[in-house]
Amino acid sequence: MPRTWMVVLALTVPLGMGMLGGCGKKADVPDAAAPPKASARPRLGFHLSDADPERPAARTAVKGEPMSAEATQALLARLPKLASTSEGATAFALRPSTAPPPRPGRTVEEPFPPKPTAAPKPTIAASKLTVTRKAPEGAISIAPNLSVTFSEPMVELTSVSALAAKAPPIKLTPEPKGSFRWLGTQTLVFQPEKEFPKATFYEVEIPAGTKSLAGSKLEQAEKFSFTTPPPKLVSYTPVGGSVSTDPVLIAEFDQRIDPTVVIPLVRIVVDSNALEVRAATNAEIAAEDGLTERLEAMEQKGKGRILVLRAKAHIPPATHVEVRIPKDTPSAEGPRKTTEDQSWSFDTYKAMAVTSGDCQGITSPGTSTRTCRPNTTFVATFTNPIDRELFDKSVVSVEPAVESLSVSASGYNVVVRGKWRANTRYKVAIKRGVTDMFGQVSVADDTREFSVVPYDPKLFRENLPMSVADPAAGPRYPVFSTNEGPVHVRLYRQEPENWEAYLAFRERWDSRGEASTPPGQLVFDADVKVDAKLDEVTETSLDLAPALKNGIGHVVVVVESKRPYKDRWQREWVRQWVQITHIGITSQEERNGSLSLLAAGLERGEPLEGVAFSVMGTGASAVSGKDGVAHIKGPIGPYSERRGSGLLIARRGDESSFAPGLSGNHEVRDRNYRMFSFDDREMYKPGETVRVKGIIRSVGSLKGGDITLPQELLGQTLRWTATDTQGAEIGKGTTKVDDAGGVFVSFPLKTTVNLGSAMVSFEGPHDFSGSESFQIQEFRRPEYEVTADTDGAPFFVGGSGVAAVHATYYAGGGLAAAETDWRVTRSEGHFTPPNRSEYRFGKNHFESWFYGYQEPNRRVAPTDATWHGRTDAPGTHRLRVDFDGTEDPFPMSLSLSARVADVNRQSWSAATTILVHPARVYVGLKPEKPFLKAGDPIVLDVVAADVEGNLVAGRKVHLQSYREVSEEVRGKWVKKRLDDAACEFTTTAAAAPKACSLGTKGAGQYMVIADVEDEKGKKSRTTLTLWATGGSLGNERSLRPGALELTADKTEYAPGQTVELLVKAPFAPAEGILQIHGGAEPREIRVHLTDRTQTFTFPVLPGDVPGLVAR
């Protein structure tokens, strides 16, 4: 049956790996020396080095002799005398505190300090110095720091550096790298560089006689101790069963260990025999899929904690294996050793066989018996994972025969589905010959049995509050149930105006559990027998004719099970409004609130003339013409708060239909004000003056509208208010709009203004409003600037380039020996040779990787690398980038960012980019149009051009095309190539492009790939996709259900030309309207879609300049 749809398209018409870690690299760049293999990580595409590795030798310091006192005095006497000043020096410039945020309420002044009272002064008794708190103590898992608190102040209030110079009154043995620091005057903390090394016994002593500032002494020495744990095994792999007989073993500890010491201690125990282990090699680690990335992620927790091992001898299959790390295993952090064995175990794979088989039913309480229903799934579990590529469904048979039998393999399981019959006992037989992931084959047949019991009675509820009956099926309503007895049916005759009351009826029960009666006239109230088949979902067709007049109308159907229920949520019933009509309606709300309406017959999709549309509660109405189209000018809303508001009703004689859900939230004004505002600094410091300017214009919103001066605002006064990030007012006043529509505001910022985002808001007559945001920040003025550039363009794969960062003081001179950190990030590049914009170059297709597609060798390539260096004497650091290229012969873009820091911790950065060409020549493609009819050839104009845009002769160009489809093969979605075609030629120096024709057969998406090589044998590639229309699209997974996709045949048009649109629809045949807006006059074209892919045309009119929108 045809369906109705509306096209929506935006079309613009412009005119050593035993243990990881332990060694570092200057650059974070993957190892490029590893041999290529299927599982190897894709190439980064570049590597970094210093462009100026040779540094001048350090200058030899000149030995000097001290000057005599007489010579020194004579030299100083030559200096002019310093002018005396009465102004005192400020030791530290502290910024005044910011103003508090505004808060409601009344401020009550209280005197401070408070008035003195007659109470006597307290007497303070002399006390002894004691330790009131100490941590940590005893055995702990981690110790971030050591803390001791005294009962009295131990140090005076002074600078941190002065306190650090004093000897601490604590003795820590052993004392790791770190420092003591005082928190206040009574608490002393020892802060290690990271944390206290583990596997260590620590002693802390505070000697007797330790004095406080008040002179109190510690009478007895205070001693305590704590210990950090020896190495503990925190994670390991492999575990469980079905493990390879030659696995890679990974053991992770909670602290650093020395692999050269620990590995000889590890044993693999097999049947009471101990096997030695060795460190796994780099090649063995790289061969394990995903292991390199997993180890890198584990290294983020801490370096030097992982062992990657392999047994020196072969492990037999079907064996229980224990990996044992004995006691007395040492740590690399401290002297303590483990006090007990640590181990984990796994089992190597067994002979391939079935271990269990049963239905996936509900287990009965207190028993292990499963209740198998007719919708159950039978699952047979094997000892090892099944090789899905080699699995043959024919090894499974079921007796008695099952309708719609489905057999599949997943993991360890064979899954059997079908339409099982109740009160039946089934036998599932699995023949020998099932292959596992280790190449073993099951050698014995296996048979399992299970019984199926009937379903519990069930009445299925409605999906939506309203439905439209299929006119081809007549006035009937389907009710679905399983093993259900007679049901009670009520039919209520309705009118569209009762929709609001119907929704209230539903809500009373759903939200509050209140039983009520639906609106409308009750015309049928009786029990109806369900002719159900045992354990099948039964469709009972209810005759709605008693509630209709002449076979059309609206009915609320209430169907309820006669079985009793206790709780409200257990009530099984159906409540749905059903429209029995031949009128199908579609609406499109415009931005201004207008409605574009389409009336079509539901049976054939033909346009319906004379359908009267109305919006309930508004008085708005329209009647459809011969094309079934009607328009209601807006704005119509906003509608009321009632649920029934926004109801679109269509009537034709005695027949009606409706559609709820119009928003109506539109407000249309003939003109709107727009203000372009800006300030002079964007960022201000407290105490500076903010200056804001604005330009106001009136923008017409309707047809023929333009941007003009706001005559009604000229000379008018605007109110402005400035607020800071806390909402506190920092300025306000008024300003006038000048004759050019401009405004100007300036105001000073207080030194106590809050830092952050601030805003100036404008308000004025005729509902005018506008704003300008700016930043208020406190910052040091920069002392130097940083710039970056590149040298050596153009850049090609196989070559190199140099990027330089320059750091120079504003006062003059370069920033020498400054720390410089580079980050280079690779991304997909795009390049079109000059004067060749009409051709397509490089990648012009989208690669979608979604769940279900099998890409076993596809691994994520790294995209960035870092480098560390120092600037030279002029303040420059030069980075050399060698371009290795990636697997794809497309241009790549490198973003290079350099950060330079000076000795006082100021840090500034600069960035530049490099475009790397895959070869010195590109191939350009220009198709006649982006779509064609299936069977017609793909006709392309082809050129070969260098990076300057010049055509290149003597280059061999190879083109190929194919249609790509998706298929499920053995449980995996794979992409298949069909309808291959090729074209090859050698370019000439002629200015005319070379024409190439590639044949097509079936409908669908075609990929075109063009390759060309330069004189050095380096390849560049151009790809594009085209659609071939006609026939079915087949199993096209990328087209979303219910979605329309449209493609224009060109990117630019001139008046008088014709636009051709390709429509890809989820269904056909169908009827629709193509709306064209933005041009001289709005146009509507009635379209009929006979295939899922079809083209439509419309002319470009002179008034369509500069662009239009088709939907």
pLDDT tens, 809-836? Answer: 988 899 999 999 999 999 989 999 999 9
Where are the alpha helices (H) located in 278-397, listed in sequence order? 282-287, 291-299
pLDDT of residue 719: 96
Q: How far is Cα 541 from Cα 589, in angstroms, rounded to an integer?
A: 37
Alpha-carbon distance 675 to 699, whole Å? 10
Task: Give the confidence band of 426 by pLDDT, cuts at 50, 70, 90.
Answer: very high
Rounded mean pLDDT, 675-704: 88
Under DSSP, the state recorded for 891 is -
Place of tokens 């008794």: 125
Q: How far is CA 873 from the centre of its chain?
A: 45
The answer to whether residues 1010 and 958 touch, using CB atoms and an 8 Å cutoff, is yes
Share of the chain above pLDDT 70, in %: 86
Closest among 771, 729, 779, 789 to 754, alpha carbons compared: 729
pLDDT digits (tens, 9 = 90+) for 718-750: 999 999 999 899 999 999 999 999 999 999 999
Task: Return the bridge partners of 867, or none.
Answer: 822
Lowest model confidence (mean pLDDT) among 517-526, 956-965, 990-999:
990-999
Q: How many helices (H) and strands (E) does the chain have?
A: 6, 74
> Does residue 652 contact residue 610 with C-beta atoms inside 8 Å?
yes
> What does the chain come to in residues?
1111
Reduce the DSSP state of residue 704 to 3 states and report it.
coil
Rounded Cα distance between 419 and 406, Å, is 10
Q: pLDDT digits over 128-145, tens only?
A: 899 999 999 999 988 889
Averaged over 336-351, what is the pLDDT? Answer: 94
22: pLDDT strictly greater than 70: no
Average model confidence (pLDDT) across the chain: 84
Q: Are 845 and 26 in contact (CB under 8 A)?
A: no
Contact 373, 361 (CB under 8 A): yes
Q: Is the pLDDT score of 300 beyond 90?
A: no
Pairing of strands 138-139, 222-227: parallel
Average pLDDT over residues 992-1021: 90
pLDDT tier for residue 657 given thresholds of 50, 70 and 90:
very high
Residue 941 to residue 836: CA distance in whole angstroms: 12
Strand partners, 757: 775
Peptide bond preceding 518: is omega within 30 degrees of 0, i.e. cis? no
Separation CA 759–CA 746 (nearest Å): 13
CB 761 within 8 A of CB 769: yes
Cβ atoms of 21 and 862 closer than 8 Å = no
Whether 557 and 545 have beta carbons less than 8 Å apart is answered as: no
Span 54-83, pLDDT tens digits:
554 555 677 788 888 888 888 888 888 877
Tokens of 867: 């480098």
Taking the C-alpha atoms of residue 694 and residue 738, their distance in angstroms, rounded to an integer, is: 11
Contact 979, 998 (CB under 8 A): no
Band of residue 850 on the pLDDT scale cut at 50, 70, 90: very low
Strand partners, 773: 759
Which distant-in-sequence residues (6+ apart) come within 8 Å of 454 by Cβ? 373, 374, 422, 423, 483, 534, 535
Q: 959: closest CA among 930, 995, 928?
A: 995
- Would you say residue 478 has pLDDT above 60? yes
Region of poorest pLDDT, from 176-190, 495-509, 522-536:
522-536
On whether the CB atoms of residues 771 and 677 are closer than 8 A, the answer is yes
* Mean pLDDT across 275-287: 91
Long-range contacts of 27-33 (CB under 8 A, 24+ apart): 27/865, 27/866, 27/867, 27/868, 28/865, 28/866, 29/865, 30/862, 32/884
Q: Which residue has the higher pLDDT, 362 or 300?
A: 300
| Burial (CB count within 10 angstroms: exposed 0-12, middle 13-18, buried 19+), residue 802 | middle
Confidence of residue 785 (pLDDT cuts 50, 70, 90): very high
Amino acid at 516: S
Q: Give the least confident one: 381-390, 501-510, 1062-1071.
A: 1062-1071
Distance (Å, whole) CA 26 – CA 513: 70
Q: Would you state the structure tokens that stand for residue 80, as one six-digit string?
A: 């002019």
